[in-house]
Structure 1
Amino acid sequence: MASQPGILTDWPWKPLGSFKHMTLAPWVVHTIYSLTTSYERDLVYYLILPMLMARIVHSQIWISVSRHRTAQGKNRIVDRGLEFSQVDRETNWDDNILLTGHIMYIVYIILPEIFHHLPLWRTEGVILMVLLHAGPVEFLYYWLHKALHHHFLYSRYHSHHHSSIVTQPITAVAHPFAEVLAYITLFAIPLFVTLFTKTASGASVYGYLFYIDFMNNLGHCNFEFFPKKLFSLFPFLKYLTYTPSFHSLHHTRFRTNYCLFMPIYDYIYGTVDESTDETYETSLKRPNDSPNVVHLTHLTTLDSIYHLPLGFASLASKPQTSKWYLHFMWPFTFGFIPLAWIFGRTFVSERNTFKKLNLQSWVIPRFTKHYLKGKSTSLNKLIEEAILEAESSGAKVLSLGLLNQEEELNEYGQLYIHKFPELKMKVVDGSSLAAAIVVNSIPKSTSQVFLRGNFNKVSLAISNALSKRNVQVAILYKDKLTKLHSRVLKSKVSLTLTTNYDAKIWLVGDGWDEDEQMKASKGTLFIPYSQFPPKKMRKDCFYHCTPAMMAPLSFTNAHACENWLPRRAMSAWRIAGIVHALEEWNVHECGSTIFNINQIWHASIRHGFQPLDIPF
C-alpha cells in the first residue's frame, strides 16, 4: 500500500480474492453463446479471451526467466534481495490484465461498429500507432510520471510502486487502481484514434498491447541483456528504447529516468541519471555468482514445479499445499516430465546471502516418485554432475537435501566421496542437525518416546542422545527390536518393547503405517525425523514440521518457502551446510559420520538460527 492511500486505491474486485477472475464469466458465456449461434461477431471479439490468457503466459515467462537469471547472478543490476513483503504487495499483478479485458469487452458492446470487419493488418494504422505512442503517449506519460513523484500524489499512490527497490517483471504493474486507470487512459489514445479513423487492424490493436507488456516486463527484470554492439551500430536507439538498467536507476535514485519506454524526453529535459551508462556497462560485465554453499534438492510432487521460486510467485511464497486449480495446468505439468527427463539438468532456483556467504539452491529436475522407483544410476549421475559443477564453481560446501542423500541411493553421500577422493568441497548430509532439532523439540520432562518408521542414521543419533537423558525409546515389534539391537549394540541405546500406543510423544519417519495415528491417544505430539512430513489425520493431536529452524533476519533474499515449511524456515539439511561453511569444518558429514549433536545445535544457535517450536 501507499504510505497514505488515496481514493480508488483498492481494486474493485479485491473482496473476491482469487475468485476475481470469475468476473469475466459473463463475457466468456456471451462469447461461447455467440460462437454457437448464428449471431455474427468479429474476430477481434473472439480473440479477447485468448489475448488475456496469452498476456498472463507472457508475463509468467518473464517472471521465471528473470528470477532464474538473477539467481545465477549474470548481468544482475541490483544486488539487494526480494522479501516476502514485496511478493505479497505484488500478488495482484494480473489485475491490470483483468481490467483490460473488461474494458475491451465493454467498449466492443457499446461501440461494435468501430471493430466491425477489422482487418488483420493495415500498414498505415501500424505507422500511425507508432507515431501516436512516440508522441502524445510518451510525452504525456513523462509529465504524469513526474507529477506522481510530487509529495501529494507520491504518498497516496506512486509510493506503492516504489516500495520495490529491487524490481521483477510483475513490479511493472504493481500500482493502485486509480494510477492504472490513468495509464490505461494514456494507452487508449493510439487505440481509439486508429479505430475511429478506420486505420486499425487486429495486428495493431493486439500488437500494441503486447508491446506494452513486453517493454514493461523488460524494464523491471533486474538483469541487463541489451548488447553494447547494438547501440554502437545504431546510436539513436538509446533515445527510442530504455534498457533494464536504465529503468532500474529510477527505482534506486527516484528523481531520474522518468520515461515510459523511450528515454528521448529524459534527454530533452535533462533528467537522465548521470550513472546510466556506467550502470549499463557494469551490469553487462557481471559474471555468474560463485556460490560458497550449494544446497542440492529436487522436485517433490508434480505440482511442486509451480511452488519453486521460478514458478508462481504467490505459491512459492507460501508453504507447499495442494491447490485445486493447478489441475487445469496438467497439459504443461505432464509435458514437463519427459522434457525434464530427456533434456533436464540441475538448475539454480534461489540465491541468498548470509554473513559474507553466497548461497544457492540447485534443483535436480526429478520428482520424488523417481527416487522411490529406485532409478539409482541416472539419479546418481545427475547428483555427481551437480557435485562436480559446484566444485568447479568454487563452492566450499554442498548439502544434500531431501532424497539426494538416501541410504539406498548413495549411502548418505558416501558414494561420491569414494568416487571423487580428491574433492576439495565438503559434502554434508545434515543428519546431525536434524537429530539435534528433534531432540530439542522433545519436552524435558519426557520419559519415553514411541519410535515409528525406518530406523536410519538420524533416528540412531536421536536414540543415542535420548538414552543419555534416560529417555526410553519404545519399539512396537519384537523382530524389529532384535534387528535394532544388533545395529546399536555399541551405542548403548535404551530400547524397549511396547504393545500399546499410549505414548504422548511419537517420533515418526518414513516407512510407517500412517493409519496408526488413529490409535494414538488424544493430545499426542507427532515429531517427524524424516525429510517428508506425515499426513495429518488427527485434529485432536499436534504435529511438528520436519526438522527445521528459523533463519536470522540478516539472511537476505528470503522470498520463497522451502517446500512445506513456513516463511523464513529452513530445513535442517540446508542449514547444516551453511553452519558447516561458517564454522569452516574441514570434514565431510556423510556415510556413517555424524557430529556431536550438541555441538552443531549450539553452533546453529550462535549463528542466529532459532528453534521452530510451533506445532502445526
Structure 2
Amino acid sequence: MGAAFLSSWPWDNLGFFKYVLYGPLVGKALAGRAWEAASPDRWLCLLLALFALRALTYQLWSSYSNMLFLTRRRRIVRDGVDFEQIDKEWDWDNFLILQITMAATALYVFPSLRHLPGWNTGGLAVAAVLHVAATEPLFYAAHRAFHGARLFARYHALHHSNMVPTPFTGMDEVPDFVFLAHVVDVMQSMHVPFVMRTFASTPFAVRAFLLPLWPIALLFMFMVWAWSKTFVISYYHLRGKLHQIWAVPRYGFHYFLPFAKDGINDQIELAILRADRMGVKVVSLAALNKNEALNGGGTLFVNKHPNLRVRVVHGNTLTAAVILNEIPKGTTEVFMTGATSKLGRAIALYLCRKKIRVMMMTLSTERFQKIQKEAAAEDQQYLVQVTKFQSAEQCKTWIVGKWLSPREQRWAPPGTHFHQFVVPPILGFRRDCTYGKLAAMRLPKDARGLGSCEFSLERGVVHACHAGGVVHFLEGYAHHEVGAIDIDRIDVVWEAALKHGIRPV
C-alpha cells in the first residue's frame, strides 16, 4: 500500500479537478497583469505558455497519429490502441503540474531567477544537442527492444497456433469486414479518435468543453461535405481478421434533404465498389445508409452491380432478433409504432407466429393489409390495425419505431416498458415507465484494439446492425442481406451471434 502511494501522483484521485491546482498561478497572473512587459509577474505568462504549448503538441500529435486515412500505411504496430492503454495514458500531463509547481516555487524562493532572460537561442541549441546525445541511443535501444519483443511474441503465437505468418506490413493490409457509418450531427463529429482520443473512448454525451469547438466542427462539416470521400475512422481485430469502420462524410440531417439523396448514394456506392476492389468480404450499412427511401435497404447497389464479390448487409435481421429477445416470456399483447416499416413488419410477423397479438399503429389500411396477408391464414387474426394511441392504454409492452411525443407517451399505462428501434431514440418523459436503448450487442472478448465507443454505447458494445454484419462475415454467408427481412432467418442469425460470443447487452 505504501509503495503504491509513493509511486503515484499526489493528485491522481482528483480527476479533472487536478487542474484547479493551476488556479493560484492563473489568479496571480491576472491580478498582476502578467502579460504587460513592466509586470513583475510576467514570468508566470512564460510558465503557463510553456504548459499550453506542451499540451497542444501532445494533442496535435495524438490527432495526427489517429488520422488513419493519412497514417495507416505508416504505422509500425498493427494492433490498435485499446481502452486499457488509453486509460493508462489518461493522466499523461501529471508531470506538467509537477514541473510548473516546482518552477513557480523556485521563482518565489529565489526572486533573482525572475530577472533571467525568458529566451536564449544559444542556450536552447546547447540543450537540444545534449538532449539528443543523451537520449537518442537509449530511445532507439528501447524502441528496438520493444518492437522486437512484440514481433517475436507475434510469430511465436502464430507458430504454436499452426497459423501461417504473413509478412509484417504495418497497417497496409486489406480489411475483411467494413462497417460503413455516417456522422450523426456536428457535436458527435468530435467523438472520433483523431479529435480527442480520450473523449472517443467514452460513450458520447454533450460536454461543456465541446461548446467552444462547435464553430470549428461546423466549418469542418462544410469542408467534408464539399470535398471528402469515405474515410477510415477506426479499426479492431477479431479472430485474426481486420475489421474497419469507415465514415460516409455526411451528417444526419443531410439524409433528409431531397437534393442530397443522389450524392449520398454515390458516396455509399463508391465505398462499396472500393471495398469490392480491395477484397473486403462484407460491408455492413449503418443507420441511415440503408434507409428504405434512400436506397431500398441496400437493394439499389446489389441490383446495379450484380457481380459484386463483397457481400452488402443491412444487419436488420439481428436488430429484429435483439428487440424480439428483449420481450418478456409470457407476453400476450404488444403495441407497435412504425409498424409498417422494414423492422416493424418483421417484428409483427414474427410475433404473430408466436400467437402474440400485435396492435399495429398505422393510418394506411393498404400497408397493414399487405403485411397481414404475408402471415399464415391461422395467424392473421393476431395482427390488428389501430389508428389511435388510446387503443394501447391497457398494454404495457410498447415497441417504438416512430418518434413519440410526451403527449403520445401519456397513453401508456404505468409500468410500461418502451422497446425502441427509432432513430433518434425517444426521450424518457415518464418516471413510472422504463425505456430500452437502441438494439445493441457486445463484441466477443477476443476482439483486440477496441479504443473508441460507438456513439453513446458502452465500451465494447456496437449497434445490432454492426454486429449483424460481423455475424454475416464470421458465418461466411454467401448472400447479400438487403431489402426486406427474411423472418425465417431471425432465429438463425440470433443463434449464430451467440455461438460466436456476441452477447446481448
Moved more, 76-85 or 498-507: 76-85
Contact (CA 8 Å) 1:299, 1:305: kept in 2 or not? yes
Contact (CA 8 Å) 1:42, 1:117: kept in 2 or not? no
Question: By how many angstroms is 1:438 displaced?
Answer: 0.7
- Rounded Cα–Cα distance in structure 2 between residues aligned with 1:579 and 1:77: 30
1:495 aligned to 2:381?
A: no
- Rounded Cα–Cα distance in structure 2 between residues aligned with 1:307 and 1:26: 32
Contact (CA 8 Å) 1:476, 1:500: kept in 2 or not? no
Residue equivalent to 1:574: 466
SS at match of 1:544: strand
1:100 aligned to 2:115?
A: no
Q: For residues 147-546 of structure 1, what are the structure 2 equivalents within 5 Å? A: 239=137, 242=140, 245-246=143-144, 248-249=146-147, 252=150, 286=170, 288-374=172-258, 375-453=260-338, 455-476=340-361, 479-480=363-364, 483-491=367-375, 492=380, 494-497=383-386, 499-513=391-405, 515-546=407-438
Closer, same or farther: CA 72–425 of 1 in aligned 2, 3 Å = farther
Residues 192-245 of structure 1 deviation map (CA, whole Å, 9 limit, x = unaligned): xxxxxxxxxxxxxxxxxxxxxxxxxxxxxxxxxxxxxxxxxxxxxx75973995
Residue equivalent to 1:558: 450
SS at match of 2:493: helix
Question: By how many angstroms is 1:476 displaced?
Answer: 4.5
Closer, same or farther: CA 17–79 of 1 in aligned 2, 3 Å = same
- Rounded Cα–Cα distance in structure 1 between residues aligned with 2:348 and 2:92: 50
Closer, same or farther: CA 431–106 of 1 in aligned 2, 3 Å = same
Closer, same or farther: CA 249–426 of 1 in aligned 2, 3 Å = closer
- Rounded Cα–Cα distance in structure 2 between residues aligned with 1:515 and 1:128: 72
Closer, same or farther: CA 458–245 of 1 in aligned 2, 3 Å = farther
- Rounded Cα–Cα distance in structure 2 between residues aligned with 1:608 and 1:409: 33
SS at match of 2:414: coil
1:605 aligned to 2:498?
A: yes
Corresponding letter in the other structure for 2:383: S
- Rounded Cα–Cα distance in structure 2 between residues aligned with 1:569 and 1:71: 27
Question: By how many angstroms is 1:296 displaced?
Answer: 0.3
Question: By how many angstroms is 1:56 displaced?
Answer: 2.2
Residue equivalent to 1:8: 6
Root mean square deviation of aligned Cα: 3.1
Residue equivalent to 1:588: 480
Question: By how many angstroms is 1:134 displaced?
Answer: 4.8
Question: By how many angstroms is 1:518 displaced?
Answer: 3.8
Closer, same or farther: CA 343–130 of 1 in aligned 2, 3 Å = same
- Rounded Cα–Cα distance in structure 1 between residues aligned with 2:482 and 2:201: 31
- Rounded Cα–Cα distance in structure 1 between residues aligned with 2:39 and 2:146: 47
- Rounded Cα–Cα distance in structure 2 between residues aligned with 1:510 and 1:35: 57
Corresponding letter in the other structure for 1:323: R
SS at match of 1:365: strand
Contact (CA 8 Å) 1:77, 1:248: kept in 2 or not? no
Question: By how many angstroms is 1:79 displaced?
Answer: 3.9
Closer, same or farther: CA 423–441 of 1 in aligned 2, 3 Å = same
- Rounded Cα–Cα distance in structure 2 between residues aligned with 1:50 and 1:528: 49
Closer, same or farther: CA 130–545 of 1 in aligned 2, 3 Å = same
Question: By how many angstroms is 1:398 displaced?
Answer: 0.3
Question: By how many angstroms is 1:122 displaced?
Answer: 2.6
Closer, same or farther: CA 424–52 of 1 in aligned 2, 3 Å = same
Q: Percent identity?
A: 29
| TM-score, normalised relative to structure 1 | 0.71
Residues 443-467 of structure 1 deviation map (CA, whole Å, 9 limit, x = unaligned): 1211111112463111110101000
Closer, same or farther: CA 111–522 of 1 in aligned 2, 3 Å = farther
Residues 364-419 of structure 1 deviation map (CA, whole Å, 9 limit, x = unaligned): 23221222334212222221221122112110110001211111211111121233
SS at match of 1:35: coil
Contact (CA 8 Å) 1:550, 1:570: kept in 2 or not? yes
Moved more, 102-111 or 498-507: 102-111
Contact (CA 8 Å) 1:380, 1:409: kept in 2 or not? yes
Moved more, 437-446 or 72-81: 72-81
Corresponding letter in the other structure for 1:363: A
- Rounded Cα–Cα distance in structure 1 between residues aligned with 2:482 and 2:106: 66
Q: Structure 1 unaligned runs (5+)?
A: 139-237, 255-281
Moved more, 305-314 or 542-551: 305-314
- Rounded Cα–Cα distance in structure 2 between residues aligned with 1:112 and 1:530: 65
Moved more, 551-560 or 125-134: 125-134
Corresponding letter in the other structure for 1:316: A
SS at match of 1:489: helix
Residue equivalent to 2:164: none
Closer, same or farther: CA 356–25 of 1 in aligned 2, 3 Å = same
Question: By how many angstroms is 1:508 displaced?
Answer: 1.0
Contact (CA 8 Å) 1:318, 1:561: kept in 2 or not? yes
